[in-house]
A and B are shown apart, each in its own frame.
Chain A
Amino acid sequence: MVGNVKADGAYVVYIGMQSVRVGASAVCRTDGNMAEYSAFSLLRNAFNSNRDWKQAWRKPEPKPSYDVIVIGGGGHGLATAYYLAAEHGISNVAVLERGWLGSGNIGRNTTIVRSNYLLPASTRFYEFSMKLWENLSHELNYNVMFSQRGILNLAHSPAQADDYIRRGNAMRLSGGDAEWLSADEIGRKVPGVDVSGSARFPVVGGLLQPRAGTARHDAVAWGYARGADRRGVDIIENCEVTGFLREGDSITGVTTTRGEIRAAKTAVAVAGSTGRVMKLAGIDKLPIESHVLQAFVSESLKPFVDMVVTWGAGHLYMSQSDKGGLVFGGNIDGYNSYAQRGNLPIVEEVMSEMVAMFPSVARVRLLRSWGGVMDMSMDGSPIITTGPLPGMYLNCGWCYGGFKATPASGFSFAWTIARDEPHQINAPYTLDRFHRGAIIDEKGQGATPRLH
């Protein structure tokens, strides 16, 4: 799968034999003579004591009605609003955020972007997302610091190696990139990993996706927010949805802490709060459980590891930020939770895995840890769909893997909202797939959300 910029400035992504036009490049996207952010504007503002920067997004009062309301000002909600305006010309849109912009999972993740999936629906979706990531800073004229430093999945047994190689082959067959590395190659590439035979879980090899990497998570939220705002979208912070307005079965708007807002279409992209918000619309049960995931950052170190490394004997993923901190996380706590904080057993587990993988970090101090609420679906795959009520659209089930999906999620959700039908990349991610037996269970764990 490849993407490129056409002569007219459109960015085109190829999915198999089909191509999809994804907006324009930065050159013709910016309406004025030059991009709002450029080397020249940096210089000009530097000489001007940085007094003339415009706010990245306005703080508008909510209007009584819009064409589309997007509930949730996280990455997916903001991306949805952006693509509604940029791709479909629907700019009379409000994004309603309960707290401040970026206060949820978009500001709480471990920033990993990858598309190393096995199943066709997943590789298609996440590879599409990867193509959008590769052009995102240009598209938004906002540096999201997308760094394709690669992701390495360590394998610790011959069976696991077989499994990873199978996944690598599936990725390559669908147009992605994957390489198998031997333990020796891993030792040279990532010197900190214990590849000795005496390791508690010896490394037998690893699957590398070179195009994977990390991005600055806040910048993704801010970039999409600014892009949407400049196209006329109202981003309304501190505006909690308290109920839905209905006419018969149809949703015709919402009641909020800042008054009633009506819209022909109401889209819900609230991740861990899906259960809460959907209950307000009378949807009492969904194939979703909310769980808490913790993440950690160490004190700053000198350059130590230049890619994302995951540990296969348990569940651990780690990278080093540009500031030098090791950013890492592991499993979810494993019980239903709406609290943005976890418990100590997982802290202990993650630290012990970290030391098993990189023995040299045993004495590094932890700087911060935090928790976020994850919308764990019953098959580990998301839901991006019309409904379940008329006038309503639902985006949820991200299972602590939503950050990398942000561009594709926003793109396909905007498509679904604008056209009342799914894009080909999100067509499999329906809500009724569970009852039809068409689940997309990447890990083969069954209907056990805590294991996805």
Chain B
Amino acid sequence: MRITCPYCGTRDVVEFTYQGDATVTRPDPASTDQAAWNAYVYDRANPAGKHSELWQHSGGCRAHLVVERDTVSHVITSVAFAGIKPNPARTTTPKRKSPARKAATRGKAAS
């Protein structure tokens, strides 16, 4: 399985750390609604099929990502930065290298 990090490009899954279901949302920290906290901590939809999940590119740029993946076929349909609304246009491998990587490559070539 490979995940296309929106910043770094396509990388092997070994570079990423799984962080679970992205659809659960933490209740307001000031909330004392026990049922809402229990549901947030324990209850999962666990779908067979399309699953929205959090991964961190821990062996790369360390960005937190929201990945849409099929749990039956392992096919990934979208990857986006967590906290930013998923944008289907950003799902494919970046055509151009990011400015940071460009700089790094240039540096290498020059040395």
Contact = CB atoms under 8 A, between A and B. Distances in A.
Interface of A: 273-276, 279, 284-290, 334-339, 343, 345, 348, 378, 434-435, 447-450
Given A337-B71, A339-B73, A339-B74, A450 B42 contact: no
A287 B72 contact: no
Nearest to B34: A435
Given A285-B44, A285-B45, A345 B51 contact: no
Nearest to B15: A345
Interface of B: 1, 12-14, 18, 20-21, 34-35, 38-39, 41-48, 51, 53, 69, 71-74
A335 B18 contact: yes
A343 B14 CA distance: 9
Contacts of B69: 335
A286 B44 contact: yes
Given A274-B46, A434-B42, 15 more contacts: A273-B48, A285-B39, A285-B44, A285-B46, A287-B42, A288-B46, A289-B21, A289-B44, A336-B71, A338-B48, A339-B72, A345-B14, A378-B42, A435-B35, A435-B38
Given A338-B72, A339-B71, A448-B20, A290 B13 contact: no
Given A339-B73, A343-B1, A334 B18 contact: yes
Pairs A-B, 8 closest by C-beta atoms = A275-B46, A285-B43, A345-B14, A434-B42, A287-B42, A338-B48, A335-B18, A435-B38
B41 A343 contact: no
> Which of B13, B46, B74 has most chain A Cβ within 10 Å?
B46
B18 A450 contact: yes
A335 B53 CA distance: 9
A275 B21 CA distance: 14
B51 A286 contact: no
A286 B38 contact: no
Interface of A is mostly: mixed
Contacts of B43: 285-287
B73 A286 contact: no
B46 A286 contact: yes
A343 B13 contact: yes
A447 B20 CA distance: 11
Contact of B48 (A290, A434, A448, A449): A290
B107 to A, nearest CB: 30
24 contacts: A275-B48, A284-B45, A285-B39, A285-B43, A285-B45, A285-B46, A286-B43, A286-B44, A287-B43, A287-B44, A288-B44, A335-B18, A335-B69, A338-B48, A338-B72, A339-B73, A343-B1, A345-B12, A378-B42, A435-B34, A447-B41, A448-B20, A449-B20, A450-B18
Given A287-B42, A435-B42, A450-B18, A276 B13 contact: no
Contacts of A288: 44, 46
Contacts of A448: 20
Contacts of B1: 343
A420 to B, nearest CB: 25
A335 B21 CA distance: 9
A306 to B, nearest CB: 35
B42 A290 contact: no
Contacts of B34: 435
Contacts of B38: 434-435
Nearest to B17: A334
Contacts of B42: 287, 378, 434-435, 447
A325 B71 CA distance: 31
A338 B71 contact: yes
Contacts of B46: 274-275, 285-286, 288-290, 336
Nearest to B44: A289
A339 to B, nearest CB: 6
Nearest to B14: A345
A279 B73 CA distance: 19
A349 to B, nearest CB: 9
Contacts of B39: 285
Contacts of A447: 41-42
Nearest to A287: B42
B21 to A, nearest CB: 8
B82 to A, nearest CB: 16
A334 to B, nearest CB: 5
A285 B23 CA distance: 12
Contacts of B12: 345
Nearest to B51: A336
A125 B34 CA distance: 30
A270 to B, nearest CB: 12
A291 to B, nearest CB: 10
B20 A290 contact: no
Contacts of B71: 290, 336-339
